[in-house]
Amino acid sequence: MNVTAGAVPATDIRVRVRRWLKPVVFVACLLPLAWLAVRAAEGGLGANPIEATIRYLGDWALRFIVIALAVTPARLLTGLNEIGRLRRMVGLFAFAYVTLHVMGYVGLDQFFNWAAIGKDIVKRVYIMFGMAALTMLVPLAITSTDAMARRLGGARWRRLHLLVYPAAIAGVIHYFEMIKAGFMQPLIYGLILAALFGVRLYKKWR
């Protein structure tokens, strides 16, 4: 027995972490949206609230993609298998933020003018890369359920879900192409992605 008087047994801590981890992370993932709603209600989004909203949602979309990609390396490096249970949820939040970001562009910026959106996709390289990233994320969101994973079979499902890497790279290029100055942020995202990919490869081939 490795428990001293008054201390909580390690197995109890694991059970509690298992029980609370998902709900806590779920609420945490909603906080950026709540923050945006509060700022919008206060009129605190600056002179161009539409642009600020689209950019804010784009930033969080990319952050959640990176966090989702960090789950497996974090599990492999720490050995905390509980963390692995968060990957799907964080990935779906990433998709939700991407969807809201794109809805902001389509509805608030372009007023559902599909002809103008079509022209924008062809004309602006950064929109093209954004669309490429979105197109790769859609099948991942659709096949995220256990039933779909069973239908596809483990190996095919895992191969399909590798699409998250090119999607993340396209998201970073989209950011890189969009900005005119201050390339530090997309560069940092690119380096983080390279490091996460490196950890996966190192653990796979070691």
Binding stretches for ligand HEM (CB under 6 A): 51, 54-55, 58-59, 61-62, 65, 98, 101-102, 105, 127, 130-131, 133-134, 137, 167, 171, 174-175, 178
Distance separating alpha carbons of residues 168 and 192, to the nearest angstrom: 11
Q: How far apart are CA 88 and CA 158, in angstroms?
A: 13
Residue nearer to ligand HEM on the CB measure, 72 or 110: 110
CB 86, CB 134: distance < 8 Å? no
Shortest distance (Å) from residue 68 CB to ligand HEM: 11
| Residue 190: CB minimum distance to ligand HEM, A | 12
Q: Cα angle at 133 between 189 and 185, to 5 degrees?
A: 20
Nearer to ligand HEM, 131 or 163 (CB): 131
Which residue lies nearer to ligand HEM by CB, 76 or 185?
A: 185
- In angstroms, give the least distance from the CB of 178 to ligand HEM: 5
Give the nearer residue to ligand HEM in terms of CB position, either 70 or 134.
Answer: 134
In angstroms, give the least distance from the CB of 92 to ligand HEM: 13
Q: Could you tell me how far CA 2 lies from the centroid of its own chain? A: 39
Smallest distance, ligand HEM to C-beta of residue 64, A: 9
Environment class of 11 (CB within 10 Å of its CB; exposed 0-12, middle 13-18, buried 19+): exposed
Q: Which is nearer to ligand HEM, 89 or 128 (CB)?
A: 128
